[in-house]
């Protein structure tokens, strides 16, 4: 039983000795070995053997690059404004022995050195420079820290300014300034847009006015040309119509009987109209009718009875052709109607009717043809003017 206990104790002793002798160091780590409190060696990553109960691994230093973020620290600028600055430091231990024995706590030392260096750099800048000079601050911090921490076995790789917070009042002022600047730029852009819009609108109105003026000018020119051509055509038509009418009148050789008949036809039209309530026929209508022929003869030079050959006016193919005998018969009927109207008027007025003029005789056409035939009317000696009732009776001839 005692031998078993001794064996068990030996086994435990061997295990403890092995645990004290064999040390495994992880990758990117370094072990600091001390013998009786004095530095002896540095263990490399992997399996290492030390003297048990004599050597002791005091520290295991991390050789990787480390990132340390420090809390915000108040810093006073050149224009006496307090700002809070957050920093981030990237550093790496290059000498584990110096990092262990040259300084007690290298992380705290780096933090304090960073704050003092940052106050020194920012103290020479105003707020505007501090907010816009981050790269300059980073370069200044990196140079000072790398020089100071070199003897500690630490290499500062990079220093970053994580945040710069000005006081709340300064923040409000900066926001107002930024808002005013943005409002100014917005107003400028709006004004430029309105100017461009006004310019484009004016150019469009100008082009539209020019096009409208050109259109109106062309329309006025075309309208004037159309009115001129219309007036010319109308004048030509009226001239041709007047020429045709006068030619027809001259070719028809009107006499006093036809004019008297036309006068009788116009008398009812004179009475027409809304304003003619009463129309009085004068008692001297008979004398007016009797003197109509002589008056017209004296004024217009129209003979009592025309002589010579009568000609028809050629009205074209659409106008039916009438023989000369038919025109003479129409004139005789017109004279007869005039004499009957005069007799009726004289009987109504109580005056003796005038002696009707003899009706001229016309010779019948020799041969029928499609062209208007001419007739030989009676000579002017055969035309006897109507007797004047007021004139004294002529003595009988022997």
Confidence at residue 193, expressed as pLDDT on a 0 to 100 scale: 93
Same domain for 16 and 86, yes or no, is no
Assigned domain for 68 exists: yes
78 and 162 together in one domain: yes
What's the total number of domains in the chain? 4
Give the pLDDT confidence of 213-240 residue by residue, as tens digits. Answer: 999 999 999 999 999 999 999 888 888 8
Instruction: Tell if the pTM clears 0.85, that is, is over it.
Output: no
- Of 166, 183, 214, the one marking the end of a domain is 166
Q: Is residue 385 part of a domain?
A: no
Percent of the chain with pLDDT strictly greater than 70 = 65
pLDDT number for residue 338: 62
Residue 88 phi, psi (nearest 5): -130, 130
Q: Is the pLDDT of residue 300 over 70?
A: no
Range of the domain at 74: 64-166
Q: What is the pLDDT at residue 143?
A: 84
Domain boundary among 61, 77, 112: 61
Q: Flag whether 367 is in a domain.
A: no
Residue 297 domain flag: yes
User: What pLDDT is attached to residue 156?
Assistant: 86
CATH number of the domain within which 128 lies: 3.30.479.30
- The 8 Å CB, 24+ separation contacts for 245-254 are 247/313, 248/313, 251/310, 251/311, 251/312, 251/313, 252/310, 252/311, 252/312, 252/313, 252/327, 253/306, 253/308, 253/310, 254/302, 254/306
Q: 368-396 pLDDT, tens per residue?
A: 333 333 333 333 334 344 444 444 444 44
Is 89 found in the same domain as 49? Answer: no
Whether residue 160 is found in the same domain as residue 84: yes
Taking 90 as the threshold, does the pLDDT of residue 199 lie above it? yes
* Residue 96 and residue 23 share a domain: no
Summarize pLDDT for 154-165 with one digit per residue, the tens. 888 888 888 888
pLDDT at 159: 84
Q: Per-residue pLDDT tens for 182-191? A: 999 999 999 9
Residue 244: pLDDT band (50, 70, 90) is confident
Q: By the 8 A CB rule, do 89 and 145 touch? A: yes
pLDDT at position 12 is 87
């Amino acid at each position: 039983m005692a031998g078993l206990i001794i064996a068990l104790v030996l086994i435990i002793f061997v295990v403890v000795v092995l645990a004290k002798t064999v040390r495994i160091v992880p990758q990117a780590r370094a072990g600091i070995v001390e013998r009786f409190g004095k530095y002896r060696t540095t263990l490399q990553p992997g399996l290492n053997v030390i003297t048990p109960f004599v050597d002791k691994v005091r520290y295991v230093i991390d050789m990787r690059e480390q990132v340390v973020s420090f809390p915000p620290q108040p810093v006073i600028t050149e224009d006496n404004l307090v700002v809070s600055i957050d920093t981030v430091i990237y550093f790496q231990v290059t000498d584990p022995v110096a990092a262990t024995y040259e300084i007690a706590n290298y992380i705290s030392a780096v933090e304090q050195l960073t704050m003092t260096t940052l106050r020194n750099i920012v103290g020479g800048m105003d707020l505007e420079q501090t907010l816009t000079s981050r790269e300059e601050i980073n370069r200044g911090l990196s140079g000072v820290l790398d020089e100071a921490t070199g003897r500690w076995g630490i290499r500062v790789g990079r220093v970053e300014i994580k945040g710069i917070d000005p006081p709340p009042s300064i923040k409000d002022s900066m926001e107002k300034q930024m808002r005013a600047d943005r409002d100014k730029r917005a107003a400028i852009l709006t004004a430029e847009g309105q100017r461009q819009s006004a310019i484009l609108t004016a150019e469009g109105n100008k082009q539209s006015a020019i096009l409208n003026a050109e259109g109106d000018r062309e329309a006025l020119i075309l309208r004037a040309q159309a009115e001129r051509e219309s007036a010319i055509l109308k004048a030509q038509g009226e001239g041709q119509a007047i020429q045709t009418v006068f030619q027809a009148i001259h070719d028809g050789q009107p006499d006093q009987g036809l004019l008297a008949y036309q006068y009788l036809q116009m008398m009812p039209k004179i009475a027409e109209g809304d304003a003619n309530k009463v129309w009085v026929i004068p008692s001297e209508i008979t004398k007016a009718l009797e003197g109509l022929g002589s008056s017209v003869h004296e004024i217009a030079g129209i003979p009592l009875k025309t002589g010579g050959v009568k000609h028809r006016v050629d009205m074209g193919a659409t106008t039916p052709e009438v023989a000369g005998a038919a025109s003479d018969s129409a004139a005789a009927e017109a004279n007869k109607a005039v004499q009957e109207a005069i007799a009726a008027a004289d009987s109504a007025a109580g005056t003796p009717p005038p002696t009707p003029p003899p009706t001229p005789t016309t010779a019948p056409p020799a041969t029928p043809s499609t062209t208007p035939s001419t007739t030989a009317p009676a000579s002017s000696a055969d035309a006897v003017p109507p007797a004047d009732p007021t004139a004294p009776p002529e003595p009988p001839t022997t």
